[in-house]
Structures are given as C-alpha cells and as structure tokens.
Amino acid sequence: MNYNIVTQDFSQNYFSKRKREKEKFKFWVNSTYIALLTIISILLLYYVWIQNVNATKWYNIRELENQKKNLLMEKEQLDVKIAELDSLSNINWDQSLLNMEEITDPDYLVINSDIQYVYNY
C-alpha cells in the first residue's frame, strides 16, 4: 500500500439530490421555527413592557386625582375660615375697631379723571 495517497472522505460530496434537498428543507424549517419563537418572545416582552408603562401612568394619574381632591377640600375649608373671619359679627367685635372714635365732621376727597387734586392739611 502506498502511504503517499491521501485518503479523503468523499461521502459528503456524493450525497444524492434528494438527500441534499431534505437537508435544506430541515434547515429552513428549523430556522423558521427559531425565528418565530424569537418574534413571539419579543412581542411578549413588548406587551409586558407596555402594560407596565400603562399601569405606572394610571397609578400617577390616580395619585394626582387624590391630591387634587385633597387640595379642593382644603380650599373649601379655607374659604369657610375666610368667610368666618370676614363675617359682620367678627368685624364688630374686633378689638381694634372697639378702640376707634366716631368722626363728627368728615372731609371727603373727590377724584375726577381729568383733574389732579392735592389735599392740604
């Protein structure tokens, strides 16, 4: 036997056409399956991300609505307090008003839009 002859594996080169087509078909089926699984996984992750974003936005909106309701109630309470302080009975019983004196002969200043007045003491 001659050792200078290089042995090669010729089995790969002598596949039948049917076998080569079957291998191509298996490759495309497997690659399509993997591509579909990848697309479905990406869509699932996108769906979860969108749901999380929407839940966060709605939570923030609910927090703002609660804050608005609390501020409106506080405004109403302050309006009631202002009305109490501005009421006639409180004004009549104010200590600074009790110490005032009645005016006997008042002087009034009348201002017209065309004339400039100066009040002399």
Which residue ranges make up each domain of the chain?
17-89
- The pLDDT score that the predictor gives to residue 7 is 57
H/E run at residue 97: helix 95-98
Using 70 as the pLDDT threshold, list the residues of the chain that sit under it.
Answer: 1-15, 95, 97, 110-111, 116-121
- The pLDDT score that the predictor gives to residue 118 is 63
Half-sphere exposure of 93 (CA within 13 A, CB side): 7
The model's pTM = 0.41
DSSP state of 6: P
Residue with tokens 């008042």: 106
- The pLDDT score that the predictor gives to residue 34 is 94
